[in-house]
Amino acid sequence: MPFDPDKDKVLKKWQCPETGLVVTINRYDQGEAKVQIGPRILKKKDGSDRAPVKAGRLTIEDILWLYDTMDDIKDELTDLQRPD
């Protein structure tokens, strides 16, 4: 069965204001909700968003922001899990 982009849903999104790192919770069709780290959305000089780029290696700023956001991510992911 081929990949269908219409079945790929972003359920929740966080973005680090300093580094542009994006973390999302996604679900494909009726599958399990999963966390994705990246891409990174940087700003142009005029303040508008550039095209997304790979997250690449994480800086200490990324790690500290991820650490501060982790409880919210964990709570959201837990709420989205379906009982067996």
What mean pLDDT value characterizes the chain? 93
Query: How far apart (Å, rounded) are the C-alpha atoms in residues 13 and 15?
Result: 7
- In total, the chain counts a number of residues equal to 84
Query: How far apart (Å, rounded) are the C-alpha atoms in residues 38 and 59?
Result: 13
| Burial classification of residue 58, based on how many CB atoms lie within 10 Å of its CB (0-12 exposed, 13-18 middle, 19 or more buried) | middle
What was the pLDDT predicted at 82? 63
Q: Work out the average pLDDT over 53-61.
A: 95
Measured between alpha carbons, how far is residue 34 from residues 13, 24, 38, 43, 80 in Å? 12, 8, 13, 27, 9
Does residue 84 carry a pLDDT above 80?
A: no
